[in-house]
């Protein structure tokens, strides 16, 4: 302890000769004026001195000053002869409540130092915390939390040198006051017996929450959850919906070791009614699920969760530039509920004060080794943009059970995703699931600018999955997707019930091993479901452009333009368009479509003696035309035919180069064509018998 010099207990004054100023008069004025200003004989300031003050025989007087006033002193002799003047005299004492403070700058007012200090943050060290990472600071930190709410004060956790060791859960009722923390690098580290939460912060009426880091909460593998912020307000009043704003917060080493606590391994969990939840540059690392500690759909391991409390949820949620890493299970075969982000609203609940109004924005950041999903969203609408996804810590099995970006409820867009897979892959890159919102038509789902590199030997099952089951119809747009490495299918369309559903795909480059797109049926659909593709290029071995994985009795229109590298589809019925053996497809309208026509150019190369079968393109029950351009530069090699369901008739043929049959190979001719009718399977056959390989461009009109 450093000793302090004792202040003067009584003021003493002297004359010019150095003698005690007995009987002298001390006038006190407001600074720089001649306005008398009172002084006092007691600390409470209830008994005023005379003005002037008459000094005693020792030239002394008891003088207490108003700490919020600056004085001028003027000393006179007993005969009122001026001796001296002192300007700008203020209180000075060891008690901050008796010390004046004036901020620099024009217009500043005088306050006590105590009042000024009460405007500053609370520090855990004010309450006895050491902050060396060794001493147990639990009591001091808890006292700091309590005082901050009681006094509506900010807590400053300090800089990188501060590490507060706590050994029990820090609980706090935020009431309606709220919370504001600031830090410049401090860490709160848990070091006690295993608990559910390090921080357990709750309000029953709604309140604002502000955390401004850098601040780290280290659960130290001894707590399931690092930071819990819950709002249990019933959401019946707008005042229940406040903002939670968190910047530069790091949570790390969360661990669900068993089923002792009804709490997942969560870095940050924000729950209940909020107006706007914003996390900027959050970091969540090492949220771990012990082997056997998971419960599918109930308990798992997560980085950041913002979720509803019954019918109460956020209105807006924004996650900006997050770093989420190593969200996993110690059981490498367990692949459920290990997600980087979980963002859930209250669904269609009409008891929500703001029903059907939730909006999610995830912008920037990196999601690394999130074993199940990187991002999982259930909201009315969501935007995910400009993120990076990395999987390079492979578990046993190699394929995850869910999509990396799982848009489970509501419309949404995914724009700008770079994925690097090295061994372990998800079941899909992006999945749009149930977009239905009761009483609402949601915006179209969009996946755009998706770039994927799969370095490993494990095949990525599918790029984009669309699952539709709402009655209001579904629109999906997929644009500019580049997938390098092993992938089975680029697009899977799982239709359950929507009418007039439409998927539009553009600018996709990949080398799938099964097909470009598939349709997986759930229940019988009605009519007018359409799949349009433009500039979709197969960079690998030719596989079917479109296959249907299960039966359907309903018309499905499939149209493609400028799509290269594909072969015929499989499993398509006569009421659905089957892609031909081809390397380029251009189409408008559906096969056997009674409401629109088609014009489809096709190119095929045939060796001598080879033939190709392709479905005809024509209106149901009506006539169509086939124009064949043979790449031989000979006029007689070109031909025009009329075709209906029962016959194929030459219209313009030069010479005998082309010979037409009805339902079988005519047996002669350099080039041969036949088919038509039910016996021909609604198809057309072309055979090259020229003695050399030939290329044909076939134009079908109908």
Read off the pLDDT of residues 236-289 as tens digits, 9 standing for 90 and up. Answer: 888 999 999 999 999 999 999 999 999 999 999 999 999 999 999 999 999 999
- 229 and 244 Cβ atoms separated by less than 8 Å: yes
Residue-range domain boundaries for the chain: 11-118, 120-371, 412-427+436-587, 611-701
Place of tokens 């009426």: 205
What DSSP state is assigned to residue 238? G
Beta strand residue intervals within 178-264, DSSP E? 179-184, 186-190, 195-203, 209-218, 223-231, 243-256
pLDDT score for 396? 58
Output the pLDDT for position 619: 45
pLDDT for 574 equals 41
What pLDDT, in 10s, does the model give residues 211-223? 999 999 999 999 9
Question: How far apart are the C-alpha atoms of 683 and 614, rounded to whole Å?
Answer: 5
Whether 473 shows a pLDDT value over 80: the answer reads: no
Model-level pTM?
Answer: 0.76
- What pLDDT, on the 0 to 100 scale, is given for residue 573? 45
* CA–CA separation, 255 and 267 (whole Å): 10
The Cα–Cα gap between 627 and 119 comes to 86
Element (H, E) at 426: none
Mean pLDDT is highest, among 76-80, 116-120, 397-401, 501-505, for 76-80
The residues facing 687 across adjacent strands are 611, 672
Region 68-94 average pLDDT? 88
Does residue 553 register a pLDDT over 60?
A: no
The CATH code belonging to domain 11-118 is 2.170.14.10
Which two tokens mark 152? 């509506």
Alpha-carbon gap, residue 77 to 54, rounded angstroms: 10
- CA atoms of 558 and 534, how far apart (whole Å): 11
Mean pLDDT for all residues in the chain: 84
Q: How far apart are CA 209 and CA 109, in angstroms?
A: 31
What are the residues facing 686 on neighbouring strands? 612, 673
Count of H-run helices and E-run strands, the chain = 2, 49
pLDDT tens by residue, 108-124:
666 666 666 666 789 99
């Amino acid at each position: 302890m450093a000793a302090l010099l004792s202040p003067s207990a009584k003021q003493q004054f002297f004359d010019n000769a150095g003698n005690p100023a007995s009987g002298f008069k001390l006038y006190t004025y407001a600074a720089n004026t001649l306005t008398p200003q009172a002084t006092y004989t007691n600390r409470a300031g209830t008994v005023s001195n005379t003005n002037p003050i008459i000094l005693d025989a020792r030239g002394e007087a008891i003088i207490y000053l108003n700490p919020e006033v600056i004085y001028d002193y003027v000393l006179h002799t007993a005969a009122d002869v001026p001796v001296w003047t002192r300007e700008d005299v203020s209180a000075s004492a060891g008690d901050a409540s008796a010390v004046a403070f004036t901020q620099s700058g024009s217009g500043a007012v005088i306050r006590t130092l105590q009042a000024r200090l009460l405007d500053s943050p609370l520090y855990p060290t004010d309450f006895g915390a050491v902050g060396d990472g060794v001493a147990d600071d639990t009591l001091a930190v808890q006292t700091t939390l309590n005082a901050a709410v009681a006094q509506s004060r900010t807590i400053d956790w300090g800089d990188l040198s501060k590490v507060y060791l706590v050994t029990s859960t820090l609980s706090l009722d935020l009431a309606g006051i709220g919370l504001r923390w600031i830090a410049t690098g401090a860490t709160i580290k848990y070091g006690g017996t295993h608990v559910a939460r390090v921080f357990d912060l709750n309000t029953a009426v709604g309140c604002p929450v502000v955390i401004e880091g850098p601040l780290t909460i280290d659960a130290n593998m001894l707590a399931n959850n690092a930071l819990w912020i819950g709002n249990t307000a019933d959401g019946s009043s707008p005042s229940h919906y406040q903002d939670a704003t968190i910047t530069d917060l790091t949570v790390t080493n969360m661990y669900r070791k068993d089923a002792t606590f009804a709490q997942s391994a969560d870095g940050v969990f924000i729950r209940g009614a909020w107006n706007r939840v914003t996390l900027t540059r959050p970091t969540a690392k090492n949220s771990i699920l012990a082997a056997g500690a998971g419960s599918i759909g109930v308990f798992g391991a997560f980085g950041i969760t913002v979720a509803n409390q019954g019918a109460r949820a956020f209105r807006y949620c924004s996650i900006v530039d997050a770093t989420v890493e190593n969200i996993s299970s110690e059981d490498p075969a367990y692949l459920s509920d290990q997600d980087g982000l979980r963002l859930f609203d209250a669904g269609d609940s009409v008891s929500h004060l703001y029903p059907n109004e939730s909006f999610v924005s995830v912008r920037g950041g990196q999601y690394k080794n999130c074993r199940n999903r990187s991002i999982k969203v259930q909201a009315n609408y969501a935007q995910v943009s400009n993120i990076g996804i990395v999987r390079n810590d492979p578990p046993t099995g190699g394929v995850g059970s869910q999509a990396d970006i799982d848009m489970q409820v509501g419309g949404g867009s995914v724009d700008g995703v770079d994925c690097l897979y090295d061994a372990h892959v998800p079941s899909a890159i992006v999945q749009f699931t149930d977009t239905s919102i009761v009483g609402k038509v949601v915006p179209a789902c969009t996946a755009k600018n998706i770039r994927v590199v799969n370095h490993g030997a494990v095949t990525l099952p599918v790029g984009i999955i669309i699952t539709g089951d709402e009655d209001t119809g579904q629109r999906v747009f997929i644009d500019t997707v580049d997938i390098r490495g092993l992938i089975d299918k680029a697009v899977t369309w799982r239709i359950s019930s929507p009418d007039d559903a439409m998927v539009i795909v553009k600018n996709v480059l990949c080398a799938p091993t099964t097909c470009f797109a598939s349709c997986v049926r759930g229940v019988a659909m009605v009519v007018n479901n359409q799949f349009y593709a433009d500039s979709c290029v197969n960079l690998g071995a030719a596989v079917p452009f479109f296959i249907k994985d299960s039966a359907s009795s309903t018309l499905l229109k499939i149209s493609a333009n400028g799509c290269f590298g594909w072969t015929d589809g499989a499993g398509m019925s006569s009421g659905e368009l089957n892609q031909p053996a081809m390397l380029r497809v251009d189409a408008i309208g559906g096969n056997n479509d009674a409401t629109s026509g088609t014009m489809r150019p096709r190119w095929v190369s045939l060796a001598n003696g080879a033939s190709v079968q392709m479905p005809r393109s024509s209106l149901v029950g009506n006539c169509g035309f086939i124009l064949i351009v043979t790449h031989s530069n000979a006029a007689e090699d070109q031909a025009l035919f009329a075709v209906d369901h029962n016959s194929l008739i030459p219209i313009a043929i030069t010479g005998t180069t082309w010979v037409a049959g009805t339902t079988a190979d005519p047996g002669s001719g350099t080039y041969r064509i036949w088919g038509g009718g039910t016996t021909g399977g609604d198809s057309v056959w072309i055979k090259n018998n020229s003695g050399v390989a030939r290329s044909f461009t076939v134009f079908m009109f109908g």
